[in-house]
Structure formats: C-alpha cells, structure tokens
Structure 1
C-alpha cells in the first residue's frame, strides 16, 4: 500500500502537460493545451489538457482523467504501477508497506538485471555468437534493442559474476542456476544466445537461450517459472511492440523469439511471440489491451498448424478479429530472408480471416478432382460453417465454399448439417438500446453539469436540495461538491474505479476543461417541480390513510398543506 501523502506528492511534482507531452505533441490554445488523441486515430486535435486543473479530456473518444489516469490508459497498467512509474520519473521515493514477497521479488528483478548486463557484455566477446548474428542478418543496433546477450562456455561464469552480490540460492530462485544433488550450483545457460524476456513495462522477468551452432542439444532452453515469471501471462517483445500495435490497431503473433527480432529488424514493429507455449487466454487478454485485431503467423509445420488452430479458439472466444498469415515458407523470418520484407508485408495485409483459413485447410486435405473426395471436403467445410455464431458470415462463406468445390450453393444449403456444433468464438448478446431519458433525468444531468462550473448555483442548490433528492448515481459526486468549495481532479480520482459512474465522470471532465457551459436555471425549475410532485403524492397518501382511519383533524391539516402547494 502506497502512502497517500506520497501519491499526492507525486501528483504535485508530475506536471500533467510535461508528462503527456512525452507521448503527445501539445500546443497551447487559450487556457488549455491541445494535441492529437493517443487513444484513437484522428486528424484534427480534440485532445485537451488543462495545466491548472491537472486533467485531460478527448472530445473525440471521451477518455478523460488526471495524470495517473493518463499513464494507466497509455501504458495499460494499474493505478499502483502508474504511481510507481511517475514516482521514478519525478524522483519521489515511494514509501510503501512492503511485504516479504515484495522484497523477495525485488531481489529477483535485481538478479535478472545484473545477469542481462553480464550476457550483453559476453555477446561482443564471442566470435561464435557474433557469427550467428551475422548469419541471421541482425545488426548490432537490433541486438541492443532487444538486449540480446550470450551465455559463455563453462558452467559457472554467471554464478562467479553474481556471487559477489547475491547468494547462489537466490540466483537459482531467479531461474539462472540449478542445484545438483551434492549441493553444488551450476549455470542453467551456457553457449547460448540469450533473449531477455520482459514484461510490458520493460522489466526483465526471465531468459530464453538458443543454440548458435549445430549440436546435440535442445534448440531452446528457457527459464523455469518463478515468483515473477509465468509463461502464460507474458508475450515476448510486447514492451517494444505495444506502441506500434496500438497505432496500427493490429498485432502480428509469431511463434518464436527469433521471429520477433527478425520482424522488428525488417520494420514489423507490431510483432510479438507467445514464448513457445500454447497461447493462453491470459496472453490474449494482455494483447487485447492494445488491439483486438491479430494476424497469426506461426510456423507452417504440423506443430505450428495445430498451435494455430488452438490459438484461433482462444482469440475468437474472446471476440478478437483473427486473421491467418498464408506464406509459402516455414515462418516469417524465412519469408524475410528469401523473399524480402515487402513480400511479408503484402502477405500480412492480405491475410484471410480464420474461417477462410479453416476451410482452406479442409480443402487441401482432399483431391477435389475426385467426386467422392470433393463431396467429403464439402461436408467437412459445412461443419466448419455450422460452428460459426455469425450466420451472415456463414452464408457468405457458403458461397465461397460453393465456388471452391463447384457444388451449387443451394445443394450445400439443403445438405447443411443442422446439428449444433461447438462455437469457435463469442456469441454476441443481442443489442438492447438504452431506455430514453425522461425530462427529470435530463434535468438532473443538466443541473449537475451547471453545478460543476457555477459556484453561486451550488449554494442555491444545497440550500434547497439534499444529495438524496437526486438519483442515486449522482450522490457521490454531489456529496463531494457539498464538502468542497472548488472542483478539481480529486473528484475524478474519487470516481476512478467506479465504471457505473462513467457518464458522470465524462460530465465532470468536460466542465473541468471549460467546455461545459450550461445554464442551470431551467433544470432547477424542472427539479423543483419534481420535488413538489413527490411531496404532493406523499401528502395524498397520508390524507387517504387519515380519512380511512377517521382522523378528521389530521385529514384537515393534510388537505390544507396540499392546497398551499397548488
């Protein structure tokens, strides 16, 4: 837990214009700074930053908040991570209540950082490693970009280097050493090109080592899972690819680390890899923070094709737009080496969707010149279409299947298998439009917006109304206004983790950057009328109850109150 005073100090020292200016070129116009929104594509600046009030808002996509909100959105991290990141940038030491696990993990990060530097130094001392980079056409700049290194020959080089700072058992806990039965510790990696595996913020979690010469050994050796590294939760190269993925709204998912390095070196900076494991739902959710459009570019051997099928299921189940790269060679790296980067770009741009991929795989299994095999191919193709939740898409691909097989579309429809099949993906819920707002709801919204920018109106409101007099969703913000004489980004912080109040947060952000100019007078009248109607309804109920009880005195008193309200 971070001390609230520390959070406030970081916010005060983190000038929002300077922070956002690292990501977005800003230009001052009037009291605000304007630029192109980093959260959606636009040609005309609609992204406003208020230096005085410490908030930002995009009038195109609606994103808004304070400096912490911006870092959370742009870096795709949580609040605590955003505070730590800004704390590092402005030089504030973060005072936290640290647990034992935090201290242990901190040491593991330090060990990985020291190991990475050691491997990088060894890379430029090894002719074997440099010859491999040259053969793969990788420049020194690319190697430095990815932090590539080399684990030297021998079994204790890294241990000897690290033991002055860290105990052997800690180095083993980081996955960089193994303990033999006799208690001796040895390096896990030797004679291998080393790939640091980093999280989305660029912290080194683990390593993967690849052989650089043909020998009787596993092609890759990877770090085991540790308290800070879970294979199924991370993507190789994401810390370098996330900006390009967001800007292009598309990720290229490849199979191995070398494919990622080769793709980036050739200009495909939106490539990431799934760390040689089965692609998981956690990895998909991580990728989905940056884009829901993915081109799968796995190897074209049997293992890669099977992995592609499984990855399609994971992505479509989470409602990704999934396309499959179709190239005449084994993998993207080989495509670049043999046919050039432009050929790979064209293949990525023209990648077919997952339905076309599945149907094509079915058709390639059969000789379509043979009538029996063609019929079987058509039946299997129909099973693929039966599993699609989108019937319009299924209908379009039925026409495509008809063209490929030469079997009439009507014949295919008649024979289409109607039994229910497992769905490839998410079945979207029927869209239910929101109910239209009545005049009172509209008046509450208008009055609230006016209260934010009109201090005099706030005084009038709280003299005649309580927060409880308005709908429940307005009450947290109204109580804040009642307790504070001014409105700033602290109100947005109070609503930060309350998605059900998103509409109110949007009104606040518009008011804070000076874009909301609403007269509350008419809204005030409507709500006064509503309050009076509710009072009348209550009095009528009490009057009916008094008359039923035969209490003439009480009934006369209530009737008089009703007449005074007319």
Structure 2
C-alpha cells in the first residue's frame, strides 16, 4: 500500500499547492515565479509538475510539496504532513507517540471551549469594558476570539459534563485540574476562572491552548495563567499570533517580537501584522528557527523597564547566535507597545523606524549611563564584545569594532585584541558543547539521513545497504562527529522513524531519493568548508604567509571544482 506521502503526492498537484501561496506563470511544461525564499526582480523559481519538484536557480532552494510547506509555513515535517494530508483528504494512521484521533478530539474540545469563553464575554460588560478601554476594537475582539472565563470553580467543567465529555479528555486538554477531598474522593475544577481568555493557535490556526489574564487583580492570583503543556501544546514551539503573521513577515522581510497578548493585538489592529508575541514564556531556539524560516531579520519591542531589558537581552543574544539580524526598538521609558500604540501611534512607528542593531543599542546604552574611563572599557569588554563575537560576518565585526572605537575613544587595536580573547574562550566552550551549529538546510538533510538509517536498521526488510549509508555520512562528517550526531538524533528515534516511514512507505523511491540527499549533504558540507578555508586564506594573506596562502588557495580551488560537479548533478535531478 502506498505511504501517506505517496498518496498525498498522487492527489495534490505541486503547481496547485505552490500556486495557492505565490503567483505562478506558465513556462513551457513548467511554471515560474519570483522566488518566495529570496528577493529578486526576475523570476528564477521553477516548478515542475511532472517531477513534482521546485528549484530556484537564484538561491538554490529545492524540494517537493513537503519541503515547500516546511519552508514557507515555517513548520517541521510532521506538521507539513498533517497540513497536506488534511488538504488531500488522506487519513493518517495512529503511530506510537502520534495519536491523531486523540489530537483531533483535543482540537475539538479546545475550539468549543473558545466558543464558551466568547459567549461569556458577551454576557460580561465589565470584561468587555476592560478590553475596549485598553484600545481594542469590537472587530479585533471578535476576529481573535477573545473571551471570558466566569469567576466560578466549575462552570466550564459542568458545561462539558452536560455534553458527556469525559474528565480524562478535559484533563488532557489542560482545561481542568483535579484534587481530592480527604485523600479519598477526586474532585475537578476549572484552570481558568475570572479571566480574559486569549486562545493560542498553532501554525495552522487551530486552537491548542489559552492564556488567561485576571480581570480583578488580587494578591493571591497570578496576573496570567497559561495552559499546561499537552499532547498538542508545546510552549517551546508556539508563538502567539504566528499563524496570522507568517505571510506579512515574509512580505515585509522582518518580524516584530513583543511580550504580551495586548501588545500583539494592538499591533495587528493598527496594521503591524508581522508582529508575534512570546506571551510570557521563554523565547526558545525553536521559536527563533520558526521565525528565521520566514525572515532572518527581527525587531524586538519589549517593555521599557528592567525586566523588559533583560528579556530583550536574552532573546536578542540567542537570536543573533542563530544567525538572525537583531534590532531593538527604543520604547519610551515606562511604556509597553500596547500603551504606546494606543496613545501615540506615530511614536510607535518612529520606534520601529529608529530601531538599532543590538550592538549599537548596547553600546549607546552604556555611553549614556554615565560610566567612563576604565569602567566603561570593562563594561564594553563584558557586555558588548561577546555580542560582536557572535556575528558570523568578518565585515560586520570590523564595522562594529570601528564604531566602538569611534564612540568610546578606545583604541581599535586594543578592541581587536580583547575580541580575539573573547572569541577564543567562546570557541573552546563550543568545542566542549559538541558539534558546531549546522545550517538549517544541512540540518534538515542530516535529520532525514539519520532517520533513514535508524528506520532501515530496525526494519526486517532492508531497502538499502545500511552499512554503506553510514560510511557515506562518516566520509563527509568524520567518524567522531558522526557518532555524536547519531547519539543526538537517536534520542528522538520514534519521531525520526515516523517521519521517514511515512515519507517512503514501502521504500520504492528510497534509493533514488537517498542518492539526491547524499549529493545535497556533501554540497552543504563543502560550502561550509569553503567559507572556513576562505576566511583562513584571508588571515594568512594579511600575515603575508605565502606558503600557507598557496596551500589554502589550492584547497579552495579543489572544493570549488567538486562543488561544480555536484551542482551539475543537482540540476540534472531537477
């Protein structure tokens, strides 16, 4: 029987799928368009319905409907599989740790809970008045399904009990908690009581949880209560508003990160639809990578207080370390985005327009703090240079070193020396942490290759030579890195095997696809080596080390020749 992936590909035309996202023009037997993954004036993005693939001759983006959805929507393979299966009408079978029936029931319960909260908001003038006073319009309240949880212990619980929804399902949805009376009889109560309710949606727009803000503040009750993690709600993967912001982030080529729901809602209401919110949870690597798939640029607009500064600092540094271009919007002291948008919309626009690169922001903050002399030099070394060291571009590093010297009065050569010490200490730490960070594209390929390896190792019927595949990966990565990687991904064996098993089904297309994957894998590895060799070449030329320069030049030429060979193979496969 064909795998779900093969069934989906049979039922969905790749041109129709991609054409629902971008405008395609007929080009012989293919279609062409301006690439959605990089800026260009002349179309170089081609879609081949016969092959079921796409390829951009400008940036090298390539793949099938699944990789397109992953890249365009900013989701992983299981999520892309769900989205396309729903579109194609293909039923996905239950797998270990991936119970689709259970998930479907949870989505239904949460959608009904949202309707319950919306109805209760209409019946609560005080809650409506609060939202309107904060600046929200009726249309925004309705569009975002904002609701209200009655200030009662069991109102939602009783509502669902009347509909014969089990306690277990309500617990699994994160809507109720249980306690016991005298350690004997279990009782249940609502998680959300007396709160303004903000539904939290996944990348497909399906409600997976809630965030509730207290309406009448008390000393005992926290200001916000969020849904607990469930089978469908993972806090490290969900950003509030991302499902609605994706298209605008890609169009504007930058995202705006705010902290709270009200900040996000006010931004979207006034036309800043590329805003997303962390909603009081830690901003994680997963969040950043989801945003990076849509755009590599981000403006952080956090509250102008010490807590907001610390949150922005941590988020900005993590984003920068993952290759994002990070700017900070300078909000007036004592304000948050929601208040500023309501009271001074042009001031909010100016904040975004005048946002500064994180390094400029840190430096200017220090320079206006009153610190001077040796103390200033110490603060720059401790707080600014580590951020400069995170920049992947040598040109960018040079630019900021010059800026620091110019603004602070410190000698440029002294700054370079301290930066070198900072970078060396960081490098030794990275080596202790294990494998160097891989690019998103290369990481995607490695994940798939290791998944195939794990699947075939445990399969009774072998479709490929497992030992040969392992040797091919080792040849590119090296044995030590291969075993580290194998252990790292092996911790997620079930998830990886699920992905490839669904993708390749009976294995009939595995051998052909594996050949292409190995070509792309080697291609990406060589590109990284070429960049590294070119940087080393630049250093050796500056030192006038002719012998080392000649050696490195030969290495660069050899890598370039191999890349040219692999590029021909890639284009031929399209």
| TM-score, normalised with respect to structure 1 | 0.70
CA displacement at 1:376 relative to structure 2: 2.7
CA displacement at 1:207 relative to structure 2: 0.8
- Kindly indicate whether residue 192 of structure 2 is the aligned counterpart of residue 189 of structure 1: yes
Give the number of aligned pairs: 448
Q: Tell me how far apart the structure 2 counterparts of residues 490 and 509 of structure 1 sit (CA, whole Å).
A: 17
Rate the CA distance shift 1:134–1:418 in 2: closer, same or farther, 3 A.
closer
Q: Tell me how far apart the structure 2 counterparts of residues 418 and 50 of structure 1 sit (CA, whole Å).
A: 49
- Kindly indicate whether residue 521 of structure 2 is the aligned counterpart of residue 500 of structure 1: yes
Residue aligning to 2:179: 180
Q: Tell me how far apart the structure 2 counterparts of residues 511 and 362 of structure 1 sit (CA, whole Å).
A: 55
| Alpha-carbon displacement from aligned partner over 1:183-238 (angstroms, at most 9, x marks no partner) | 22111112211111222232322210012345554221111223332323322111
Residue aligning to 2:543: none
Residue aligning to 1:339: 344
Query: For the Cα contact (< 8 Å) 1:319–1:425, is it kept in 2?
Result: no
Query: For the Cα contact (< 8 Å) 2:246–2:294, is it kept in 1?
Result: yes
Which deviates further from its counterpart, 91-100 or 51-60?
Answer: 91-100
Q: Which of 60, 65, 68 is the aligned partner of 2:66?
A: 68
| Alpha-carbon displacement from aligned partner over 1:35-91 (angstroms, at most 9, x marks no partner) | 222222222222222334433222222223333332233223344433332221132
CA displacement at 1:255 relative to structure 2: 1.1
Rate the CA distance shift 1:50–1:285 in 2: closer, same or farther, 3 A.
closer
Which runs of structure 2 are paired with 1:371-382 in the superposition (5 Å)? 373=372, 375-382=374-381
CA displacement at 1:490 relative to structure 2: 8.7
Computing the radius of gyration over CA atoms, which structure comes out larger, 1 or 2? Answer: 1
- Kindly indicate whether residue 274 of structure 2 is the aligned counterpart of residue 276 of structure 1: no
Rate the CA distance shift 1:315–1:418 in 2: closer, same or farther, 3 A.
closer
Q: Which of 111, 114, 119 is the aligned partner of 1:113?
A: 111
Runs (5+) with no aligned partner, structure 2: 432-467, 474-507, 524-562
Q: Tell me how far apart the structure 2 counterparts of residues 289 and 176 of structure 1 sit (CA, whole Å).
A: 32
Q: Tell me how far apart the structure 2 counterparts of residues 490 and 418 of structure 1 sit (CA, whole Å).
A: 48
Residue aligning to 2:154: 156
SS at match of 2:211: strand
- Kindly indicate whether residue 174 of structure 2 is the aligned counterpart of residue 170 of structure 1: no
Which deviates further from its counterpart, 378-387 or 11-20?
Answer: 378-387
Q: Which of 264, 268, 271 is the aligned partner of 1:264?
A: 268
Which runs of structure 2 are paired with 1:82-161 in the superposition (5 Å)? 82-97=80-95, 102-161=100-159
Runs (5+) with no aligned partner, structure 1: 430-467, 474-487, 514-566
CA displacement at 1:33 relative to structure 2: 2.2
Rate the CA distance shift 1:512–1:365 in 2: closer, same or farther, 3 A.
closer
Rate the CA distance shift 1:402–1:83 in 2: closer, same or farther, 3 A.
closer
SS at match of 2:85: helix
Which deviates further from its counterpart, 414-423 or 145-154?
Answer: 414-423
| Alpha-carbon displacement from aligned partner over 1:165-197 (angstroms, at most 9, x marks no partner) | 421232123221121322221111122111112
Query: For the Cα contact (< 8 Å) 2:93–2:100, is it kept in 1?
Result: no
SS at match of 1:252: strand
| Alpha-carbon displacement from aligned partner over 1:327-377 (angstroms, at most 9, x marks no partner) | 21422112211221x3323322321112222223323432x6xxxx55533
Residue aligning to 1:47: 45
- Kindly indicate whether residue 307 of structure 2 is the aligned counterpart of residue 286 of structure 1: no
SS at match of 2:294: coil
- Kindly indicate whether residue 325 of structure 2 is the aligned counterpart of residue 326 of structure 1: no
- Kindly indicate whether residue 365 of structure 2 is the aligned counterpart of residue 361 of structure 1: yes
Q: Tell me how far apart the structure 1 counterparts of residues 412 and 197 of structure 2 sit (CA, whole Å).
A: 57
CA displacement at 1:305 relative to structure 2: 1.3
Q: Which of 212, 231, 238 is the aligned partner of 1:234?
A: 238
- Kindly indicate whether residue 227 of structure 2 is the aligned counterpart of residue 223 of structure 1: yes
Residue aligning to 2:57: 59
Residue aligning to 2:247: 243
Q: Tell me how far apart the structure 1 counterparts of residues 272 and 164 of structure 2 sit (CA, whole Å).
A: 39
- Kindly indicate whether residue 202 of structure 2 is the aligned counterpart of residue 199 of structure 1: yes
Which deviates further from its counterpart, 158-167 or 412-421?
Answer: 412-421
Residue aligning to 1:440: none
Residue aligning to 1:531: none
Residue aligning to 1:313: 317
CA displacement at 1:144 relative to structure 2: 3.6
Q: Tell me how far apart the structure 2 counterparts of residues 24 and 506 of structure 1 sit (CA, whole Å).
A: 26
| TM-score, normalised with respect to structure 2 | 0.69
Query: For the Cα contact (< 8 Å) 2:377–2:410, is it kept in 1?
Result: no
Rate the CA distance shift 1:73–1:140 in 2: closer, same or farther, 3 A.
same
SS at match of 2:38: coil
Q: CA RMSD, aligned part only?
A: 3.6
Query: For the Cα contact (< 8 Å) 1:64–1:509, is it kept in 2?
Result: no
Which deviates further from its counterpart, 498-507 or 291-300?
Answer: 498-507
Rate the CA distance shift 1:511–1:167 in 2: closer, same or farther, 3 A.
same
CA displacement at 1:511 relative to structure 2: 4.8
Q: Tell me how far apart the structure 2 counterparts of residues 22 and 426 of structure 1 sit (CA, whole Å).
A: 45
